[in-house]
Amino acid sequence: MVRVLVCLAAAASVGAVLAVASSGGSAACKPTAGDVPGPFERIDAPRRAKIGPGHVLSGRVLRAGDCAPVSRALVVFWQAGPNGYVYRPRGRGSVLTDRSGRFRIEGPVPASSGLRPPHIHMAVIHPDYEELLTRYVVRRGATSGRMRIVLTPLL
């Protein structure tokens, strides 16, 4: 009887692990692909979450593999204003993620630049992870968006 209960418990554990893996649980945290730096890329942006009204981007920074939140990651962002590519100090900002890895930034809806759609450049920096340069593409007409950023731990 005890042997049957142990076998049933083991089978249930294996089934639970397989259900998490197939449902996109922790196995689904693949590192975010990097991007080339945008023009005038600078990471000395002032600590502020709002550089203007128009578009709100919220997101989470997670660790690759187990999807654990990355707290106190520095998220630096810079973008063009509504009239095109004019990177000035007022077009940059930075925030720290909270305990759950969340961040929220607000700025004007960026203009497209020639062949590139409207986007927000981002650098995500934490001493325990590889630095990441990426960008968020703003959908036409959107006033808000969400982004998940997955960092690769340093060895």
Beta bridge partners of 84: 81
Q: What's residue 8's pLDDT?
A: 32
Taking CA atoms, 86 is separated from 18, 124, 150, in Å, by 50, 22, 29
pTM (two decimals): 0.77
Q: What's residue 22's pLDDT?
A: 34
Distance CA 124, CA 73 (A): 7
Taking CA atoms, 3 is separated from 7, 10, 118, in Å, by 6, 11, 62
CA 29 to chain centre: 12
The mean predicted confidence, pLDDT, of the chain is: 79
Please write the tens of the pLDDT for every residue from 41-84: 556 788 999 998 999 999 999 999 999 999 999 999 988 766 66
Please write the tens of the pLDDT for every residue from 16-29: 333 333 334 445 89
